[in-house]
Amino acid sequence: MARKILAAGNWKMNKTASEAASFIKELAESVKGAKNEVLICVPFTNLETAVKLTEGTNISVGAENMDYHDSGAYTGEVSADMLLDLGVKYVVIGHSERREYYNETDKTVNAKVLKAIEKGITPVLCCGESLEQREDNITFEWVRMQIKIALKGLSAEDVKKVVIAYEPIWAIGTGKTATNEQADEVCADIRACLREVYGDDVADNTRILYGGSVNAGNAAELFAMNDIDGGLVGGASLKVADFTTIANA
């Protein structure tokens, strides 16, 4: 399999710059022999610290969001060029918390994905259904719609540069987890959608992560599934021992 497992930590709104510095120094030593690709997506205030302290290590750094404008009167926003100037390589786009709390839509997610690809930053594109949507048996239709709109305007070659993260909203921070089979089933359908729209090469080479309460105890079994290529990890990425286990899963 050409797709390398990616262990991506999403810190959310956690850790000051000084806390991040201590954590990253410890993490870099702990994961230096990790068999998976390691990524930490940190708050804007920690990006400069994270990039500096991960130089020469096997850890990549990502942002948790970005604006789709290049510059202008957008108070509080951060552009792709600002991220690039710091040395940021990845950016999380369309996380369910951004959609729910900050009114992000499929169209704004698409604009951000297009901008990230244009600027050479790897987008970690999030998608997923609510508990109500799962119970209404529209999971596949809903997720396919999100994917198709988010990738609109990208060429097949560009789509191969995108990392997709399936995150069932009902399994984020709730203590509930999808079974391995449930997670893999949706990831497999996302891959099938890519195959139908963009062809075999894109489907076979695009990494699809699972992002629903991945932890040290379930990562190995999840990552062993046919269509899961790693995890977008929340709370467990804030603990060096747990994230190290996941980086080696």
Catalytic residues: 95, 167
Count Cβ atoms below 10 Å from residue 188 Cβ, excluding itself.
15
The secondary structure of 131-163 as a DSSP string is HHHHHTT-HHHHHHHHHHHHTTT--HHHHTT-E
R_g (Cα) of the chain, nearest Å: 17
Q: Could you give the count of Cα atoms lying within 13 Å of 223 in the half-sphere of its Cβ? A: 25
Q: Are 125 and 163 within 8 A, CB to CB? A: yes
The rounded distance, in Å, linking the Cα atoms of 231 and 209 is 5
The rounded distance, in Å, linking the Cα atoms of 29 and 27 is 5
